[in-house]
Chain A
Amino acid sequence: MALSGMRGLSVFISDIRNCQNKEQERLRVDKELGNIRTRFKNEKGLTPYEKKKYVWKMLYIYMLGYDVDFGHMEAVSLISAPKYPEKQVGYIVTSCLLNENHDFLRLAINTVRNDIVGRNETFQCLALTLVGNIGGRDFAESLAPDVQKLLISSSCRPLVRKKAALCLLRLFRKNPDVMNVDGWSDRMAQLLDERDLGVLTSSMSLLVALVSYNHEEYWSCLPKCVKVLERLARSQDVPQEYTYYGIPSPWLQVKTMRALQYFPTIEDPNTRRSLFEVLQRILMGTDVVKNVNKNNASHAVLFEALALVMHLDAEKEMMSQCVALLGKFIAVREPNIRYLGLENMTRMLMVTDVQDIIKRHQAQIITSLKDPDISIRRRALDLLYGMCDVSNAKDIVEELLQYLNTAEFVMREELSLKIAILAEKFAPDLSWYVDVILQLIDKAGDFVSDDIWFRVVQFVTNNEDLQVTLAALLYMLLLFGVSLDGAHYFQPLPQPYAALKAREYLDKPAIHETMVKVSAYILGEYSHLLARRPGCSPKEIFNIIHEKLPTVTTSTIPILLSTYAKILMHTQPPDPELQNQIWAIFRKYESCIEVEIQQRAVEYFELSKKGAALMDILAEMPKFPERQSSLIRKAEDTEADTADQSAIKLRAQQQTSNALVMSDQRPANGTPPVSQLGLVKVPSMSNVDRDSADQGETQSNGTLTVVDPQPPSTPSPDLLGDLLSPLAIEVPQPDANQSDHNLGAGVKGAPTAEDALALAPVEEQMNTIQPIGNIAERFHALCLKDSGVLYEDPYIQIGIKADWRAHHGRLVLFLGNKNTSPLASVQAQILPPSHLRVELSLVPETIPPRAQVQCPLEVVNLRPSRDVAVLDFSYKFGTHLVNVKLRLPALLNKFLQSISVSPEEFFPQWRSLSGPPLKLQEVVRGVRPLPLLEMANLFNSLRLVVCPGLDPNTNNLIASTTFYSESTRAMLCLVRIETDPADRTQLRMTVASGDPTLTFELKEFIKEQLVSLPTAPGAPAPPTPLQPQPQPTSPPPAVSDPGALLAGLL
């Protein structure tokens, strides 16, 4: 078939196809581009036919991957051609060549609008398609009302209306305000009565977008959606052409069920019943058939139904049906179904009560870890990671370690991270932990990121039992180059020593550098504990470590130097020979070109001459205050790059490390341990450490480096406060630990200071009562709204209602006894952070059966801070003592009041707050990818009012708000977010206000909301996906945008 008779184009395509190699092709293309360029230059001579032909050639060349940086004007100008053939070409080529940010597109707005409002329906279709595919914010503002009219018009034919629906969807995505039309929700509901399934499909897509943004307006659509679903499920009134392999429009079914998932619940019992009937029918009635397309379509519907059932948290019976189905799916041969089975099972983990059933499939899931398909292996890994707990950790980690041997390079880093997290979290005993970590470093050294071994060091520092054994082991390892079986580690050391030495010494394999780092660090800290054992004199230990020095890179040498200094310090009585040896090394590195090495060498040399003073400075590292594992944060950060979010999120929400309680002698209440801050202790790997998320500790433990080459980037007066705040109220960071269980565990250990290092079994005696629903989720919901349930378990429900006025808040706690017997020993106590003054009225000691008690709570905000108040709540039911620590939703954002500013107010303010500390800017990575719309929505719900139109770049958001506290009074805050459309996981944020603390706290607060879990200041940046687009740095230009002016003139 010739291309509409365009011989020139066909010839060109044939020429390209006949090119023998890339070089020839390039020559041919260059020639053609030159030709087109000259033809376009004297445009007068071009017939419409020729213009069309050249424009097509341009598109073809563009598709081949060549830059076509001219001729856009010609393509755009064809849009205004009077005749259909030219117009059509103009529209399609424009929508392929340009994207929404292109200035040329603005030139076309008027023509496009004329086509949309004109009477010619073929022109309308072309115009709607273009706007639907590449329309930007400008289009949204100028065209939305016209498109709305077309969609609801009774005189338009379906072919126009369905395009109008999707076009409107695009405009809504670009600017949600365009759908703020009175009565639109009624219109939307009417649209769902549509009989034409093409229009209905498009309208349903529009509805999905609308309800995902704000479902409140659209409750009236819910029963209609159920009706549509019923109509399809029963094949009523579905024309033949809309059945796909015998299934009534699977796409419409999927979309409808998707829309329903955005409504939190379905209240009306009749609607609910009808929906469940349909869902039941889908769950039961979907069989595997031979025809692959029919199979895919029916399973598309089935998986959507599964998601809806999970969302509705249906009856137990239905849920177990779902798990059974998924269990079947993960065992089938069809790879797509297996993949989706694993994916959905991971989502299922969110639902309570099914974990045990899922565990039954563990063997099958492990098989999938060996699947030839990397996509399936990824899902299996994610699921195993999500379902791991103390009961199966040994098996799962063992499998993962094995898999590490064969896994692709792209997966190894993620895999090592996950192994390290699981090992720490669920270790049944310490020898196992050591075993796993050594194997991990041994097998995947290159992929073990610094964070992992930092964490290992932290962990060992905080667990005394580990120190000797690991030191001994690593020493043996360095000595013999063999790693022993875990069980041997805890044997009284070295009877087999001599024998081993003789046998293995000769064939010492290379040891990975990461292993050298860990060994050097641990031996430096703890090798003196080995001193009495034969062959473990400081000198011997020094020799074995020093032997590695020639083999390591410059990043490891500073660590080795620290180790030498420590060995020297621990050698009592001093050994002059060793001292000279070490001094010689220090002197040698005094002139090293690497600044870090040089500095350490100089300082250690000087210090070690000071004799006893050295002891104070180089003493053992103090224990690290417990905080969330940086690994989990890292895992979250890398998520976007690797796998589904679900399992990681779930992990983060679950309690941290139960098995190995990383507790410490933290004071039970209030003040942080001053001694830790005051003393200058061990010079740790200051430079290396800076990369780790635990920068805070290193700094507070004091580094020896006098000059800090890289001071913290945000010189906020509150930095110290920020570092300490997690300690200040013995509750871990406000955000890091999400479950009350965990809070309970963390706090319990500290005040009683009992069995600090015990291998505490997971099951706490206390909270055997499982909360209903996810506490963290409830808390997060309450952060955005003012009333709801804070906590619920089988016996009690705690509701909360809040009223916020400026810097005052009044909360009422509703304590409801759900039982027929009273709840005794009820106690509630508020652990307020220092910036809040909280007064809780008396709480009665008993709550009578089925009664609800109200406890008012007054909150006053003294100054900006994002710390969180905690409600320590306990009661007794029968023999159960239940104690929970609940975060109270009295966050920073509650003391904000919406204010929207006009450009005249905004820009002067914005400019007057110039630079730190009043205006802070930061590039945030690892952001939960949100469409801009949803982000704007999130901001609005945080009472940061998005001011549309202030920033000409549609990828940016500007928000304003007023913050109230006793110290700052009312304070205007301005926020600008610049997003990268190509990479939603990162953005640049600028926050400005009249108070430096407020600016910093607000910035951190917003960051916490955007990143699923907050990152500490200076946290490691995750690898950036797609190249970041250069962002405009200047403050937004006002209306003087040249493109806009040009468009106006035309």
Chain B
Amino acid sequence: MIHFVLLISRQGKVRLTKWYSPYTQKERTKVIRELSGMILTRGPKLCNFVEWRGYKVVYKRYASLYFCMCIDQDDNELEVLEIIHHYVEILDRYFGSVCELDLIFNFHKAYYILDELVIAGELQESSKKTVARLIAAQDSLVEAAKEEASSISNIIAQATK
């Protein structure tokens, strides 16, 4: 299973963290510090796996961002590597050529999308189309609620004019 997902920028800034196994705040900080030290320093042509404390961390760099997922020792590494890519493709489709800035200012979207992709540390949906559809549906629900709210406040505003 995936124990946690980390998005770290090349400068070591954390862009997203998601923990599927219980870690305390202190442990989380420690894990992030340790792993960014290990992963950010790795050269470009090395393999995408790092052995760490009896676990494996599968990571891949996309432009300035490192996507990391920590898995058990006997999990299938390549499968997880492609979960990462799958996630990136979906982000890319959603934002339209995604960049780090998108993920900084819309970090909540990155979380929503990840939730549609992975639950309990396991892949939930492997169809990009389905994920895109569900996220769009969420967005429209939020929009609808906003419009409703503004129309109500309009009515109130007009009524109290």
Contact = CB atoms under 8 A, between A and B. Distances in A.
Interface in B92-128: 95, 102, 104-108, 111-112, 115, 119-120, 122-128
A338 interface: yes
A1029 interface: yes
Given A65-B14, A198-B127, A981 B22 contact: yes
B120 A169 contact: yes
A96 interface: yes
A591 to B, nearest CB: 45
A1035 to B, nearest CB: 23
Interface in A951-984: 981-982, 984
Contacts of A5: 146
A981 B102 contact: no
Contact of B76 (A129, A170, A304, A981): A304
Contact of B46 (A133, A163, A335, A644): A335
B78 interface: yes
Contact of B124 (A162, A242, A375, A639): A162
B119 A88 contact: no
B97 to A, nearest CB: 12
B73 interface: yes
Contacts of B146: 5, 85
B130 A339 contact: no
Contact of A375 (B49, B120, B126, B127): B49
B53 A640 contact: yes
Interface stretch (A295-303, A613-621, A701-709): A295-303
A88 B49 contact: no
A161 to B, nearest CB: 11
B125 A244 contact: no
Nearest to B56: A375
13 contacts: A3-B106, A59-B107, A65-B14, A65-B32, A84-B141, A85-B145, A251-B83, A258-B76, A300-B77, A339-B77, A372-B43, A982-B22, A1027-B26
Given A132-B119, A336-B47, A96 B17 contact: yes
Contacts of B25: 67
Interface string B29-54: 11010000000001101111111011
A251 to B, nearest CB: 5
B21 A122 contact: no
A65 B14 CA distance: 8
A118 to B, nearest CB: 16
Nearest to B54: A640
A756 interface: no
A728 B156 CA distance: 92
Contacts of A296: 78, 81-82, 85
A375 B53 contact: no
A170 B120 contact: yes
B41 to A, nearest CB: 11
Contacts of B107: 59-60, 63
Contacts of B61: none
Given A133-B119, A254-B79, A304-B76, A201 B54 contact: no
Contacts of B122: 166, 169, 202, 205
Given A63-B17, A129-B115, A201 B27 contact: no
Interface string A835-867: 000000000000000000000000000000000
Contact of B78 (A167, A169, A297, A984): A297
Contact of B127 (A60, A132, A241, A254): A241
A982 B50 CA distance: 18
B20 A133 contact: yes
A85 B123 CA distance: 25
For the side of the interface on A, what is the size category? 35 or more
B141 A297 contact: no
Nearest to B77: A340
Contacts, number: 205
Interface string A1-40: 1111100001001000100000000000000000000000
A99 B142 CA distance: 27
A375 B142 CA distance: 45
**A-B interface, 6 closest residue pairs, ranked by CB to CB distance from nearest:** A300-B78, A335-B47, A640-B54, A132-B119, A373-B46, A166-B119
A201 B32 CA distance: 30
Nearest to A373: B46
A56 interface: yes
A1025 interface: yes
Interface in A55-73: 56, 59-60, 63-65, 67
B138 interface: yes
B22 A99 contact: yes
A924 interface: no
A599 interface: no
**Which of A13, A99, A167, A639 is the most central at the interface, judged by chain B CB atoms within 10 Å of its CB?**
A99
Interface string B127-152: 11110001001100110011000000
Given A296-B82, A375-B47, A1027-B27, 5 more contacts: A83-B145, A88-B138, A122-B138, A198-B126, A300-B82
A3 B46 CA distance: 37
A128 B115 CA distance: 11
B22 A101 contact: yes
B18 interface: yes
A201 B118 CA distance: 11
Interface string A221-259: 000000000000000000101101000011110100010
A96 B18 contact: yes
Interface string B47-70: 111110110000000000000000
Nearest to A347: B74
Contacts of B22: 99-101, 134, 136, 981-982
A136 B22 CA distance: 9
B81 A336 contact: yes
A197 interface: yes
A148 interface: no
Interface in A367-409: 372-373, 375-376, 378
B86 interface: yes
Given A63-B17, A929-B54, A88 B142 contact: yes
